[in-house]
Amino acid sequence: MVTGKSVVVLGQGYVGLPLAVAAANAGWKVFGLEISESLVDRLNSGVSHVEDVSHLDLKRAISNHNYVATVEPEIAHSCSLVIICVPTPLDGDSDPDLSFVESAVKLVAGHLHPDALLISESTSYPGTVRDLIKPLVESIRSDKGIGVKYASAPERVDPMNAKWDMKITPRLVAGLTDEATELAHEFYSSFCDTVIKVSSPEVAESAKLLENTFRQVNIALINQLVPFCRTLGIDVREVVEAAGSKPYGFMKFYPGAGVGGHCIPIDPLYLLWRSRQLGIDLPFVESADKTNRDMPKYVANRLIELAGLKSGDKALVLGVAYKAGISDVRETPAHDVASHLLSQGVEVYWSDPLVLEFDSVKKWDASIPVKGAIVVTAQPGLEVESITGSGVPVLDCTGAYKGIKGVSQL
């Protein structure tokens, strides 16, 4: 028998686990569905692997009997909602890789209650819910999915953002039917202050891609100004701050070693892929992607110039997570910075207080002398001052160490 306030959240990563705990705190009976038994065991013991969910928050949801992790997809039959929160990376050709979404749908499709609402939070191209998820469910079920409802509610997760958490960040929802839209709205309104209905899943899916394409394009604009401002002998960050004093018509974006994470380097390429299918060019988006992908090579060459690095010299990459305050290294520009230095014969080391493993380069300790260092991400606890104190030049791509003797700004 299906229960009205029961939900399966498929995928218990950086999107799924915070969603599951938020829904549990709002009184929903939540089943966190995963394929890894070891992860399920850790979650059920109250151990969170996601920075935005504390061990205490997870244990509270468990003790209130509102959360349990499971590897059993059959649980979906007793739930009114099933939500897909799985990764949507790029494949080797930089095209959308929806294999995780397809696997998730196949895992639960046969177990869905005939009246269930299936929601996709996974970022994807417009048409994913209508043209991929719904037909896939229909092809699997003997009843052709008659009665199953579908909606899109793209995730808006910014890890470790203390200001914009899940409660106060507005959410978009849209179903393939009015009923699906209303049910999705009801669910998210139970723990989000603002839930906005849009006219179709395609609008919601496109809006998510636009959000991060907007960031990609504007970051690329500032990154293009870095060599321009350097040639003029002015600080590009000071220029941004000065422009940002205007109270209207401008938003501040900052330069860096590139873009990283699960959104900015990926979402615009989902948009490009779909536009090419439609025979439409998006040259701004293509140019922005190229500009930001070229930045790791640019900053690596700046370090080579600054420190006079030659083949066989040692260099240090400081801060390898894609964002300060987290341990996530997905799509981090630090990877390409290190790769370019290695291609020039430089021996590369890395240091990041929050990251346990990174690529195949060696982890640095203070006993290893280096000739130059580059700050890619301003993680707390980086030993910048002690490094410059030993006479090693540092290139800071973040602006966090401006004014420290021996530190050069991007």
Active site residues: 263
Please provide the size of the chain in residues.
Answer: 410
Rg over alpha carbons for the chain, rounded to the nearest Å, is 23
Q: In the β-sheet with 407-409, what is the strand arrangement from edge to edge? A: 362-363, 347-351, 314-318, 372-375, 394-396, 407-409
Residues 6+ apart with CB under 8 A from 242: none
Give phi and psi for 106, each to the nearest 5: -65, -35
DSSP 90: B
Q: Give me the amino acid identity at 20.
A: A
Q: Round to whole Å and give the CA distance between 81 and 274.
A: 28
Is-contact 244 252, C-beta < 8 A? Answer: yes
Strands (DSSP E) contained in 235-388 are: 314-318, 347-351, 362-363, 372-375
- Alpha-carbon span 146 to 352, nearest angstrom: 51
Distance CA 397, CA 256 (A): 5
Count CB atoms within 10 A of the CB of residue 274. 21
107/256 Cα distance (integer angstroms): 40
Dihedral, CA of residue 259, residue 212, residue 98 and residue 195, to nearest 10: 140
The answer to whether 257 touches 395, Cβ cutoff 8 Å, is no
d(CA 377, CA 151): 36
Strands 67-70 and 29-33: parallel
Scan for tokens 């394009």, then name that residue. 217
